[in-house]
Amino acid sequence: THLVDVDEETIELVANTSYELTFALCALLAFIFIKVKGVRFELPTQRDKILAAICETTGQFTYVYAMSGNGAIAAPIISSVCVVSVILSRIILKEKLTWKQYIFVFLVIVGVLTLSIIEGDA
């Protein structure tokens, strides 16, 4: 078949619908698997897993929202999540960092701030 009279909105609508249906199918299959295997699922004992699932879903929505805008700006900022992990490991776990790690953390922060300033001027 040929794509005739197809605009960007139609393609986006079809993509979103297939995305939603894919996740609905995965959820249905997971539910069936749990029922067939007889796995007990009790909400009070699964608090940490539920919290992790909510955080992961929020992160995915944030990622999709960011990439729907200016991907050239969003991608480097999203990729700097490892630097956030290094900073948090220093603060929370009291891990020792080398001087090279401090320099690269500083450079990434400067890079993200530069992108933010450039994007703000555009």
Tens digits of residue pLDDT in 80-118: 888 989 999 999 999 999 999 999 999 999 988 888 788
The DSSP symbol for 7 reads: -
- Tell me, what's the pLDDT at 103? 96
- Tell me, what's the pLDDT at 2? 65
- Tell me, what's the pLDDT at 3? 64
Question: Per residue in 33-73, pLDDT tens?
Answer: 988 998 887 777 778 888 898 999 898 888 888 888 777 77
Cα distances (angstroms) measured from residue 68 to each of 32, 62, 72, 103 = 33, 10, 11, 31
The residues, any chain, with a CB within 8 Å of residue 88's CB and separated by 6 or more, are none
Q: How many other CB atoms sit within 10 Å of the CB of residue 108?
A: 19
pTM of whole model > 0.85?
no
Cβ(101)–Cβ(86) below 8 Å: yes
Each domain of the chain, given as residue ranges in start order, spans 6-40, 42-70, 80-122
